[in-house]
Amino acid sequence: MSLQAKLDAFKADLYAGRLPFKPPAEVLATMDRTTQALIASGAAAKALKVGDKAPSFTLPDPDKNPVSSAALLAKGPLAISFYRGVWCPYCNMELQALQETLGDIRAAGGNLIAISPQLPPNSRKAMQQNKLTFPILSDMGNETAARFGLKFALPPELIEVYKGFGNDLALINGEPSWTLPMPGRFVIGTDGTIRYAEVNPDYTKRPEPSALLPALRAANLATT
């Protein structure tokens, strides 16, 4: 089953009340309405695109060790997944799908990291929960996500929904901004040029991990 098919099946079960917890209809309506508003805002069009130069960054891994994009790119092309956090089931399914594709990513000459605004202990939890062997880096305040054009602020009504779910992002992320990245995937060549970019303001929609592979292979060939 494809990643998107799994996401669609989860969403269908959630909305139909087939999961242990079914949000009230008004909560689901708020989630849908705020997602549509983000789509209509055109925010995704402002994200970095193929051919742009990727910003450099240094972010902590789950053990709080600094990891720099320069050091990663010195090893070869880099695939990045920006995701929302360990609390997001859609994100966890995406991380699991990326893990299943990790062998192909490395065979294509690439490395893979995920970036989220959550604190390092929550990144460690996500790695353990999803059995990941690639690192999750913590982007405090979504500063790196902002440089990629992904950062957005949650509207007040959605903040209340998340609090109702027990997802207090101020605690999970260690800062009070209540911002998130739009889910985004990028492939960056060793010269810092973006070779692949996919951003969707609808967090229930994610491209297949295999979509990264042609860009990684091409970027790897360009360095050899």
CB-side neighbour CA atoms (13 Å) of 148: 33
Q: What is the pLDDT of residue 180?
A: 98
Digit-coded pLDDT (tens) for 45-65:
999 999 999 999 999 999 999
| Closest CA relative to residue 173, chosen from 88, 95, 85 | 85
Q: Please tell me the class of the 3-222 domain.
A: alpha beta
Digit-coded pLDDT (tens) for 152-184:
999 999 999 999 999 999 999 999 999 999 999
Digit-coded pLDDT (tens) for 84-127:
999 999 999 999 999 999 999 999 999 999 999 999 999 999 99
Give the DSSP letter of residue 19.
S
What's the whole-model pTM score? Answer: 0.96
Using 50, 70 and 90 to split pLDDT, how confident is the model at 224?
A: low
Placement of tokens 């917890």 in the chain: 21
Please give the structure tokens belonging to residue 92. 């966890």
Spell out the domain ranges in the chain: 3-222
Catalytic site positions:
91
Please give the structure tokens belonging to residue 46. 């402002």
